[in-house]
Amino acid sequence: LYKEVYALTTGECVSDPSYSIKVYPVEVRDGDVYLKTA
């Protein structure tokens, strides 16, 4: 993960698509950020 750039919508590494990270849907309500993990 060090010095890599990832697309926040897909989790794919921009410089090497063979790497990826898990992404989660988020929602902002009244200034609070909610993360859906399940």
Q: Quick check: 5 pLDDT over 70?
A: yes
Residue 1 pLDDT: 59
Residue 17 pLDDT: 85
Q: How many CA atoms does the CB half-sphere of 9 hold within 13 Å?
A: 0
Give me the chain's average pLDDT, please: 91
More confident residue, 37 or 33: 33
Rounded mean pLDDT, 6-29: 92
In terms of Cα–Cα distance, which of 5, 3, 37 is closest to 21? Answer: 5
